[in-house]
Amino acid sequence: MKGEKKKRIVKTIKIDVDKCNGCRACEVICSAFHATPKYSSNNPERSRIRLMRDPIRDVYVPVYAGEYAASECMGRDKYVIDGKEYDECGFCRAACSSRKLFKEPDSGLPLKCDMCEGEEQPLCVKWCINDALVCEEREAEGDEEPKPQDVEAGLESLIDRYGRQTVLDTLARISKRD
Ligand code: SF4
Ligand code: SF4
């Protein structure tokens, strides 16, 4: 019916840092799943989940790659939880210019968790034998269309890296192929 909002399933991965022992199995399976061809290699640098790991302080924080940020923050956060001090930007999910995290090592393009599109369950969740990662699903109302800002973020990062004209020339060349 016109005006009626569509229902969609929202997946959330609940992270229990107290259960994480830093084994990094999540990084291994994520990078293998996203290798080309699939499962042909694994390199944590290509993983969409990274582990902030400091065994001496007993700090293990799995962090998922989120949105691309064109510039770094002017202010930074530092958290202290249960007496443990976490690194500056420790919980931040952004691929930004202040650090190497969540960037494809060869191209420098930002990485973002896609919830293992096409798989029944996120693979990092499946591989975490400590149940530090748990996937929850709920129904929500909303727009199912892809968000234009996701496309914009990808294009902006390409322009940052290769320049506007190169990106425009490449798009013009690709669009002539069909
Ligand atoms: S697989 Fe689980 S326990 Fe191992 S590092 Fe990842 S989140 Fe932590
Ligand atoms: S849900 Fe899939 S894409 Fe996202 S971090 Fe986990 S393994 Fe990688």
pLDDT score of 128: 98
**Does ligand 2 come within 6 angstroms of the Cβ of 115?**
yes
Q: Which atom of ligand 2 is nearest to the CA of 48?
A: 5
**Does ligand 2 come within 6 angstroms of the Cβ of 86?**
no
Q: Which atom of ligand 1 is nearest to the CA of 133?
A: 7
* Closest listed ligand to the CA of 131: 1
pLDDT score of 143: 61
27 membership: H or E segment, kind and range: helix 25-33
Question: Rounded distance, CA 38 to CA 24, Å?
Answer: 19
User: What's the mean pLDDT when you consider all of the chain?
Assistant: 88
pLDDT score of 176: 73
Q: Which residues of the chain have pLDDT under 70?
A: 1-4, 143-146, 177-178
pLDDT score of 145: 61
pLDDT score of 28: 97
DSSP 174: H
Q: Whose structure tokens read 């976490």?
A: 86
Question: Rounded distance, CA 62 to CA 57, Å?
Answer: 15
**Does ligand 2 come within 6 angstroms of the Cβ of 64?**
yes
pLDDT score of 157: 75
Q: What is the pLDDT of residues 4-41, one digit of tens each?
A: 677 888 889 999 999 999 999 999 999 999 998 999 99
pLDDT score of 150: 72
* Closest listed ligand to the CA of 32: 2
**Does ligand 2 come within 6 angstroms of the Cβ of 128?**
no
Question: Rounded distance, CA 104 to CA 88, Å?
Answer: 22
Report yes or no: 41 and 52 within 8 Å, Cβ to Cβ: no
**Does ligand 2 come within 6 angstroms of the Cβ of 133?**
no
How far is the centre of ligand 2, averaged over its atoms, from the C-alpha of 169 (Å)? 33
Report yes or no: 61 and 47 within 8 Å, Cβ to Cβ: no
pLDDT score of 3: 58
- List of residues 6+ apart from 117 with CB closer than 8 A: none
